[in-house]
Amino acid sequence: MPAAEYRPQLATLVKEPPRGDDWVHEIKFDGWRIGARIHKGRVTLTSRNGKDWTRSFPDIVTAVEKLKTSDALLDGEVAMVLPDGRTSFQAMQNSSSAASGASLVYFVFDLLSLDDEHLASLPLEERKSHLRALIGTRQTGRIRYSKHIDGRGDELFAHACRMGLEGIVSKRRDRPYREGRHGDWLKTKCSLRQEFVIGGVTDPEGARAGLGALLLGYYAGDRLVFAGKVGTGFSQKLAIDLRRQLDALEQKECPFDPTPPRPISRAAHWVKPKLVCEVEFTEWTNDGSTRHPSFQGLRADKSPKEVVREKPRA
């Protein structure tokens, strides 16, 4: 099974964790979803949309190569771990993070094949048993096993929010691994957070450099719907780098349908909707914009057409 066949199972957003003993619950990591394929001893890292990320994480490749198998397909999240134990997507965007004590880790939570044996059809509990046997339960080093708790999802979710984590993922313990989003995996978030497509940019004001704000949108069918703007969460270096990328994508036509209100559109530089970013915010306003948004980073692992408004299932 080549690495290109890594087709991840995805979690559906819900308002609160499911109850009952049919579910196990894991901490939601704040990083890049990555499949690690070992084939005849050679490691390939693949993102959720099929891009090859092997060269991006050489330390992770080296760690995976040391596992005692020549053939396997692992599923997990590559994340930057801060000194306090939290994972941070923003830290992955910051080249100085390693100097501040953060470290890059591959948290593995599933095993889809091992030594030519296909495991995806097995229940989650059996797959994780095989995974524990392969990588151990260590919580140090480049590769770490993603622990879970049985039931008590509400307790883990409350703990995650107290710790300032993103949230939790709940999984049916008795189900096979199936690609896509269908309800066997559920995610509960401590704050609102999702991906948006960048459709425009405004100029900086005063002493600020690079950009003023990014204009955000999501797809509803073939329409890119305006969802507000974000002007916080950037370092000066990142703002300048982002502006350079966006200037290369500038176009005359507004990509949003309908066009944003005149005060915003009058100051906008429109860009081709090619870049995806992640934004944290407090709530959706009545007019469909994000309130108090904060930029978290670019998402090169997401395709623009994948980006829709996430609505938690009851």
The tens digit of pLDDT for each residue in 3-26 reads: 348 999 999 999 999 999 999 999
Catalytic residue among 28, 128, 187, 189: 28
Beta-strand (E) ranges in the chain?
9-13, 23-27, 32-39, 42-47, 71-81, 103-114, 117-118, 143-145, 149-150, 167-172, 180-189, 192-202, 214-220, 223-230, 268-270, 276-281, 283-284, 290-291, 294-298
- What pTM, to 2 d.p., does this model score? 0.86
Dist CA 103 CA 81 (whole Å): 5
From residue 125, how far is each of 139, 147, 174, 186, 221 by CA, in Å?
19, 12, 7, 16, 37
Amino acid at 120: A
Q: Is it the case that residue 36 has pLDDT exceeding 60?
A: yes
pLDDT digits (tens, 9 = 90+) for 155-210: 999 999 999 899 999 999 999 999 999 999 999 999 899 999 999 999 998 878 89
- Residue 28 annotated among the catalytic residues of the structure: yes
Where is 173: in which H helix or E strand?
none
* Average pLDDT, integer, range 232-249: 94
Query: What is the rounded (10 degree) CA torsion for 59, 64, 65, 69?
Result: 180
Q: In sequence order, which residues have a C-beta less than 8 Å from that of residue 25 and are 6 or more positions away? A: 17, 148, 149, 151, 152, 153, 156, 157, 168, 169, 170, 171
Domains of the chain: 3-189 (3.30.470.30), 192-306 (2.40.50.140)
pLDDT digits (tens, 9 = 90+) for 112-134: 999 989 999 999 999 999 999 99
Instruction: Answer positive or negative: Cα dihedral of 210, 213, 219, 222.
Output: negative
From residue 59, how far is each of 2, 294, 300 by CA, in Å?
21, 30, 19
Helices (H), the chain: 58-65, 89-93, 124-135, 153-162, 236-247, 262-266
SS3 at position 196:
strand
* Average pLDDT, integer, range 212-240: 95
